[in-house]
Amino acid sequence: MKKIISLVLTGTIVAAALTGCGNESNESDVKAASTQSSSDVVANEADSSASVEEASDLPQWKYGKFTASVVDGQIDLSGLGVVIEVPEELKDKADSIGIRGSVTDEFGYASIYWINPDDPDNTGYEIVDLEADVNPVNVEDLVYEDYGITTDVVADLGSNGGFNYYAYREDTWYEGDSSYFDENVLADLDEDRKAEYIEFLSYSSELIDNITFVDFLIPEALGADDFDNEALLNFELTDLDGNTVKSGDYISSNKVTMINFWGTFCGPCINEMPYLAEIEQEYKDQGFEIVGMTCDVYDSEGNYQEDIVLDALDIIEDTGVEYPILIASVELRTYAQLTAYPTTFFVDSEGRLLTSPIVGSHSKEEWEAYIEEALAAVN
């Protein structure tokens, strides 16, 4: 239950930093995909709704994190497949409304929140949580009455372009059971700010009811034909001890290498590392190895962050990982076209891609199936 996990972890959201495991994110609250990739299926569904001539005019599903704002009375989330008309009473308060979210090829979300423009900490308080998933939505599965989330709170919005949309009517939630808000959200607000937030919160259902679907296209997943395998073997990287290494030295001697791009901010990445460590040992004698690529040591401007290295070392110790962990350079991250974390590549000894990149964390059994498939491909 993605919503409950996020709520248990954080009562408020921070506008300056995005939650989830979107590209270049630095937060630990996670709304990441955890199922097998369905991008090809979804792309076909989206394509079927538009002719070739129309396709170039459609917005694309926007991979990675994003922010938005109210413009001309609308919240344009066409990259997420929706546009939202802002209620008339809120249109002159646009500077108090923030929007942020994240998108992978299997899951997307947008959070609309109230923010005090004069708050130097830029702290936001959620009004609407909108989510889109390639998996079918069962409202009953999203109910969590211990937190006051009943069937009246969850709005099943239907499907668009192969995705299933739902949102949380947080005004209904607050009116039905305010205990979660009182204990986790409102406790830090003075009476004036509390009243202002509750006023914005009262528009949650109206915002949801004003959602309109728009057509969009899913970008095609990176495939073997587009993958420069020779370049993959020649990246100069460093390990966590500061030693200079060559990427190919960790690939060429294996039949199959599982390259796992992860971040210290990414809960799903870290949660699966203990059984990735087990898997690596189980399949090692078959010519298989995992190479972890830590993706947040260098920030988007290429600055090396020593504190992230220390975090990574702590995580490796805590999870029992013994397979090699390298530091992904900005150039490698760009080359890999990463849109979310974790993202995993399976390659052969020459760096050739064996499957499309796999976005999201998976169970041990699911990873074993992928590994068996990759080993069968090279054998």
Domain of 282: which CATH number?
3.40.30.10
What DSSP line would sit under 300-351, residue for residue? TT--B-HHHHHHHHHHHHHHT--S-EEEPPHHHHHHTT--BSSEEEEE-TT-
Residue 180 lies in a domain: yes
Q: Do 8 and 114 fall within a single domain?
A: yes
Q: Name the packing angle between helices 267-283 and 364-378 (round to 10°).
A: 50
Asked if residue 270 has pLDDT above 90, the reply is: yes
User: Domain end: 190, 213, 236, which one?
Assistant: 213
Q: Using the 3D structure, point to which of 213, 244, 272 is the last residue of a domain.
A: 213
Residue 295 lies in a domain: yes
Work out the average pLDDT over 31-52: 33
> pLDDT category, 268, cuts 50, 70, 90?
confident
- Residue 56 confidence class, pLDDT cut points 50, 70, 90: low
Highest mean pLDDT among 8-22, 217-231, 321-335: 321-335
DSSP, collapsed to helix, strand or coil, labels residue 188 as helix
Q: How many CA atoms lie within 13 A of 343 on its CB side?
A: 24
Confidence tier at 232 by pLDDT (50, 70, 90):
very high
Token look-up 């538009």 returns 50
Res. 102 pLDDT band, cuts 50 70 90: confident
The average pLDDT across 57-84 equals 87
What pLDDT was estimated at residue 2?
Answer: 41
More confident residue, 350 or 218: 350
What pLDDT score was predicted for residue 301? Answer: 82
Identify the pLDDT of residue 49.
Answer: 42
If asked whether residues 29 and 150 sit together in one domain, one would say: yes
Q: How many domains are there within the chain?
A: 2
Based on the domain organization, do 158 and 257 belong to the same domain? no
- Assigned domain for 205 exists: yes
Any domain includes 219: no
| Shared domain check, 350 and 278 | yes
Based on the fold, state whether residues 23 and 132 are members of the same structural domain: yes
Contact call for residues 115 and 100 (beta carbons, < 8 A)? no
Residues 233 and 332 grouped into a single domain: yes
Asked whether residue 338 carries a pLDDT value surpassing 90, the answer given is no
Kindly state whether residues 109 and 238 are assigned to the same domain.
no
Does residue 217 surpass a pLDDT of 50?
Answer: yes
**Mean pLDDT across the stretch 42-65?**
54
Distance CA 89, CA 333 (A): 44
Could you give the CA distance from residue 46 to residue 41 in angstroms, rounded to a whole number? Answer: 9
Where does the pLDDT of residue 55 fall: very low under 50, low under 70, confident under 90, or very high at 90 and above? Answer: low
Residue that terminates a domain, selected from 154, 179, 213: 213
Are both 20 and 49 inside the same structural domain?
yes
- Judged by average pLDDT, the poorest of 11-15, 128-132, 299-303, 334-338 is 11-15
Residue 254 pLDDT greater than 70, yes or no: yes
356 and 299 both lie in a single domain: yes
Model confidence at 357, pLDDT cuts 50, 70, 90, reads confident
Query: Can you give the pLDDT at residue 70?
Result: 94
Residue-level pLDDT at 27: 33
Task: Please give the residue range of the domain that contains residue 58.
Answer: 2-213
Q: What CA–CA distances, in Å, run from 279 to 50, 110, 223, 371, 378?
A: 44, 35, 25, 9, 18
How high is the pLDDT of residue 12? 42
Look-up of token digits 């064996």: 354
Residue 35 has pLDDT above 60, yes or no: no
pLDDT in tens, 138-157: 888 888 888 889 999 999 99
Residue 170 belongs to some domain of the structure: yes
Residues 6 or more apart from 33 whose CB is under 8 A from it?
A: 104, 105, 106, 107, 340, 359, 360
User: What percentage of the chain exceeds 70 in pLDDT?
Assistant: 82
What is the arithmetic mean of pLDDT over 210-222? 81
Q: Are residues 185 and 287 in the same domain?
A: no
Of the given ranges (95-104, 117-126, 204-213), which has the lowest mean pLDDT?
117-126
Residue 218 lies in a domain: no
Encode burial over 213-243: b for 16+ CB neighbours within 10 A, e otherwise: bbbbbbeebbeeeebeeeebbebebbebeee
pLDDT given for residue 155 in this prediction = 95
Please tell me the predicted confidence (pLDDT) of residue 167.
Answer: 96
Q: Residue 141 falls within a domain, yes or no?
A: yes
| 118 and 265 inside one domain | no
Average pLDDT value over all residues in the chain: 82
Asked whether the predicted pLDDT for residue 24 surpasses 50, the reply is no
Residue 371, domain member (yes or no): yes
Task: Let me know whether 77 and 193 are in one domain.
Answer: yes
Residues 6+ apart with CB under 8 A from 97: 69, 70, 75, 86, 90, 112, 113, 114, 115, 127, 200
